[in-house]
Amino acid sequence: MENKEVYLDRTIHFLNQIGVKTEERPLSENTFLPGLCIEHGTLLVDRHILSFPGDILHEAGHIATTPSSFRADMNGDLNPSMNTSLGDDIAAILWSYAALKAIDLPPEFLFHEHGYKGSSAWYIENFTSGNYVGLPLLEWMGMTYGIEKAAQHQCLPYPNMIRWLRE
C-alpha cells in the first residue's frame, strides 16, 4: 500500500472539498477510535495517534449521512454506546466505500484487518464484486441510486453519489 500519510492527506483534502469539515489537532488518547473525535459536526484528527487512517472515512460517513439539521450537534465518539442504529452504521459503511472509490484508494485502506469486527475481508469481497448490502438506505436518503434507478434518472449508479451530504 502506498504511503499512509499520502492517503491520509488525500482523504482529508477530499472531505474538506465535499463539505465534511475536518481539523487536525492533538487529541486525548481516550477516544473510541484512536486519533479521531467529532466536535460540533467537525471531524477532529490527530495523525500522531491515529491507528488506522481509513477510519476517517467511516466516521466522516456518519457525519455525512446525518440529516443536516443535526450535524452541528454531533460531539464525541460515535461508538456502540451511543444511540446509533445498525442502519446508521450501514449508511456510514456505504458512504465511506463511495468516498474511497472517489479518492481512488484501495479497499484495504477502509476495510483494514483490525476493523469491522473481523469482517473486513467479507466487506472487501462484497463491495468489490458489486454487492452493496443496504444500498436502498442511501437511496432513501437521496444520496445515490442503484443501477435501475440511476438509469431512470440518467445518472451514474452507486458508488457514484448524487450528493455527498444528506439534506
Question: Residue 109 has which C-alpha cell?
Answer: 485502506
| CA atoms within 13 A of residue 23's CA, in its CB half-sphere | 10
- pLDDT at position 82 is 44
**111-154: pLDDT as tens digits:** 998 888 889 999 999 999 999 999 999 999 999 999 999 999 99
Q: At which residue does the C-alpha cell 458489486 appear?
A: 130
Q: Which residues of the chain have pLDDT under 70?
A: 1-2, 77-86
Q: Considering the entire predicted model, what is its pTM?
A: 0.92
Question: Residue 112 has which C-alpha cell?
Answer: 483494514
- pLDDT at position 85 is 65
DSSP 51: S
Beta bridge partners of 111: none
Domain edges within the chain: 4-132
Sorted by sequence, the CB contacts under 8 Å of residue 120 that are 6+ apart come out as 108, 111, 112, 113
Find the largest Cα–Cα distance for the chain: 48
Which string of b and e fits 125-164 if b means at least 16 CB within 10 Å? eebeeeebeebebbbebebbbeeeebeeeeeebbbebbeb
- pLDDT at position 102 is 98
Whole-number Å distance between alpha carbons of 85 and 80:
9
Q: Please tell me whether residue 23 adopts helix, strand or coil conformation.
A: strand
- pLDDT at position 10 is 96
